[in-house]
Each structure stands twice: as C-alpha cells, then as structure tokens.
Structure 1
C-alpha cells in the first residue's frame, strides 16, 4: 500500500513538473511561429515534404522555441520578480531554480542543433545565428526600444529556417514570409508592452511605448500590422501555389487586426492581453488553415 502511495506521489510530482515547464516556456504560444514555419515548409516543398524532413524540422523548431522561452525566463528573472504582473512566474516564486532552467535550455538548444544537422549543411551552418538571436533578445529591452523588432526577427527564424531545411537554399519568398512574421510579432508585442509602460519607465527598460508614449506606440503597432498584410500579399504574389483561398485568409487576418487595434486605446488597456495574445492566436490559426489549404490544393 505504501509502495503504491509513493509511486503515486512521484508520478504527481513528475506531472506537476511537466506542467510547470509548460507554463514556464508558454508552450501554448508555440502557434505564433509554428504557422509561419509550416506554411513556409509546404511552399518550399510544393506540398507535403518527405516525412523525415518534416520530423527534423519539427524537432529543431520545438527545441529552438522551448529553449528560447526558457532562457528568457532566466535572464528576466530579476525584472519579473519586481513587476507585479510577472512576479507569479515560476522562477520568481521559487518553484524552479535558475540552474535547472539553464540546463533545460541548453538541452533544448542541443536538440535544435541536432535537428539542424539532420536536415542539411546550410541549416547547421546558420543555426548559430538563430541561437544568438534567441539568447540576446531578452537583453534588448535593457538597451534599445527596438526590442520588439528583435523579437520579431528571432521569430522569423522559423519560416526562413523551414524553407532552408527543405531546399537547402534561400530566396525572396521566405524572406518576405520572415518579414511578415517579424512585423506581426513586433506589432502585438508593442501592444502587450503597453501595459508595462509605468513599470518600464521606472526601471529604465526600453520599448516603443516608453520611447514614444502609449498613444504613438499603438499607432506604430498598427503600422507594423499593416506592413504584415503587405508582406503576406507579396508572399502570395511570389508563390505559384497560393491563390484565392490564401487571400481570403489574409483578408480575415486584416479584419482581425482592425478588431485588435479597435479594442485597445491609450485610455483603455484592459483588453491588452486579449488583443495581443487572444486575437493573434486566432490570426495564427487562420493563417495556418487557409495557407495549408491553399498550398496543398
């Protein structure tokens, strides 16, 4: 009986630890880059790629994305502890130690490198660039208000990397896909950062809202999202696979952007989380569904 109880206790602890890591790396937010990576992969291969290639792309993506979010939590631990909005995260609460999260991040990055090595030489050669971006991004808000753009560029490694994984080359189409990913992420990250305006200014952290004010920061976010639509249209024009269905999806995304910016204002930031994360999760799903159908038909 005691043996069963001890096994159950160990299992419960293991499940709790997995859940803690899932929250730590915001696993539910994987969709933000995954949709762009998958559509890029489908366009690069002219349909479904070889299963072996698809598997290693997925391995590299999960390793990179998970490691990046984990190391972000380590680097920002002191800042998170000061901010009432983030003080409940795992490291500030003491639920996880920095050392264990660093080890976890290193293991994830090794998985990414193994995935890149299994794909092709160019993927492996360029993977350190993506790795550097993932590690330096959390520091950017300490030095430049362009931190949102750096985050966008880091996210854009996914669609560009997926294209290289399939073709072993680079071209204009994945670069414009990456530009769309960059502008999209930068835009909603500005909206998200608006809620920390007072905290960031008090603690010397830099962002577009702290540089230009929340009002103009939201305008700049809207410009980034307008640029996202432009880049997505260019992707459609460059691709021979994408047609009417794809543009229907892009149109829906444009409407979602309008709603996103309509529900947030400098005097009403209550819907920031819905605008920056909730609506953009829908944006990502719409892009994934319509882009996949268009690419495979």
Structure 2
C-alpha cells in the first residue's frame, strides 16, 4: 500500500476516490474518517441483515404493506450509517493506543492528532442521537430489543484483548438487525429471524477473518488477538465451516418463513460467491484480502434481491 504524506489529510487504508475528499470541506475530513464515511463497506455490511429481516418478514406476512416495508428500509439505512459511524468513533476512542502501533491505522484522526478526544466524544453523541431518532420510529418491543444490543456493542472493542474470537463478538453486535427488521413488522420474534441472526453472525465471523489477515503481523506485535491469528496459515477449513453453516442457517430461515423459489436462488448465487472467496483467498496479499472482504457487500445484495423477487412474485 502506498504511503501517504503526513499532510495529505487522508488515512492509509481509505480509497482516494471517496466522496469525502471530493465533496466535503477539508476541516470535516477527520470526522468523516472517524465515522468511516470514506469506507461505506462497513455500514453496508451492517445494513444487509436489517434489510434481509425486513424482506423476510414481508415474505412471511404474505400481505405486507409496500409503503411500510419501504419506510422500514429507509429507517434501517439511516440507522445503519449513523450507528456504524458511532460504533467506529467509539472503537477508535478505545483503541487509540493500539492504532498508533499499527501501520495501517496510525494515520486515523485520533492517533494522528487531527481530532481531539473531546471532539470525538461530542461527534459520537451526535451520531448516537441520530440513531435514537430512528429507533423511536419503531414499536416498543423493537426499541427494547435494540437497547439490549448496546451491551454487546460496548464490549466489542475490548474483546480483541481477551479472546481469539473477537470476530464472534463483532458478529453478535453487527447482526442484530436480523432480529430488528422482523420485530419492527410483528412486534415480536419467531424462529425465522433467530435463524437469520445466527446465519449473519457466522457470516460476519467469516468475512471479518478475511479482513483481519491484513493486520495479522501487526496484531501479533502489539498483542491483539483475532481469528486470523487463531486460524494461522490454514483458514480454508475454518471458512468452509463458517460460510457453510451460514448458508444452512439462511436456508433454514427461509423454510421457517415460508419463502419461495426466488429466495433460494438468491441464496444459491450468494453461496457461489462465498465459495469463490475461499478458493482464491491469498492470506499473504492484503489487497486481495480487502477485495474479498468487500465482495460480501455483493453477497448481501444478492440475498436481499432474492427475497425481494420472492415478495414480488
């Protein structure tokens, strides 16, 4: 990865073509970087379980109101961007010293000194307030359900210090939307969204393991633990198990919701994409790992389109 000059105003692992650098005034760049607006893959991966759940609930309801479904999709979009940004800001506050020791992250706003901790905390609160405004649009059950996830979110930045499986903790937090979309529609949970949640958790462990291989050497130096370090040089069997289990759980969720052929076709295409990731993975090539990680946005999209096609048909 090409090194950036200290006064470039950009972070080492951010795409140079991001709208952040083309549209926003330079003084806002560090805050956009804290929220990861320059890297949309994070909120996209957070959004897909939400949208899967909304669509799965609509499929199960058979007579879902299209306007209500669309409104829920919009709410989850706004909420995913806001809460992913808040989560990243919180994570950077907790991990500031670690980020200073890792080559890929030391150019981020906090370790580089371009944003003070007090300013980052204020920005965190503002993003959380946007998320709260979105949450209050849902029913009471969904509000309580979402608040329950905050305990997992709060623990996640510390997991890498105490367990080889921080990706599991990330999955538990990042996949919560798989429960929320259903609860927003029905005001309760059922077997289908629970299976969907478990599938999303396992999927997250898989793709974030691929992401973590970019930092494996630096993580070993600073004592950060991860599934990439746990799996070592042979992640293939682990990924087969993780992605395979995710596919089985997704299929079970479709069965529980009474989904039709289009949903299963979407899952089949997504499964091929997951298998491709395992086949071509080169853990010694950080750029390739990042590209395969980002491919999971397409995986999420394909599954969602399959559900929408089933709803329309």
**TM-score, length of structure 2 as denominator length:** 0.82
C-alpha deviation, 1:83, in angstroms: 0.7
Q: Where in structure 2 are the equivalents of 1:16-165 lying within 5 Å?
A: 16-27=26-37, 28-29=40-41, 30-45=43-58, 46=61, 47=64, 48=66, 50=68, 56-165=75-184
Q: CA RMSD in A?
A: 2.4
Name the counterpart of 1:257: 274
Q: Give 5+ residue unaligned stretches, structure 1.
A: 1-11
| Contact kept in structure 2, 1:42 and 1:49, CA below 8 Å | no
C-alpha distance in 1 between matches for 2:185 and 2:79? 13
| Contact kept in structure 2, 1:194 and 1:209, CA below 8 Å | yes
C-alpha distance in 1 between matches for 2:161 and 2:229? 12
Give the number of equivalent residue pairs: 283
Match status 1:186 vs 2:205: yes
Task: Name the SS for the 1:142 alignment partner.
Answer: coil
Match status 1:15 vs 2:15: no
| Contact kept in structure 1, 2:51 and 2:76, CA below 8 Å | no
C-alpha deviation, 1:265, in angstroms: 3.5
Q: Where in structure 2 are the equivalents of 1:235-246 lying within 5 Å?
A: 235-240=253-258, 242-246=259-263
C-alpha deviation, 1:25, in angstroms: 2.4
Name the counterpart of 1:276: 293
Task: Name the SS for the 2:137 alignment partner.
Answer: helix
Task: Name the SS for the 1:119 alignment partner.
Answer: coil
Of 204-213 and 176-185, more deviation after overlay is shown by 204-213
C-alpha deviation, 1:36, in angstroms: 2.0
Change (3 A) 1:16 1:243: farther
Task: Name the SS for the 1:118 alignment partner.
Answer: coil
Name the counterpart of 2:305: 289
Change (3 A) 1:296 1:159: farther
**TM-score, length of structure 1 as denominator length:** 0.86
C-alpha deviation, 1:78, in angstroms: 1.6
| Contact kept in structure 2, 1:57 and 1:165, CA below 8 Å | no
C-alpha distance in 2 between matches for 1:199 and 1:276? 19
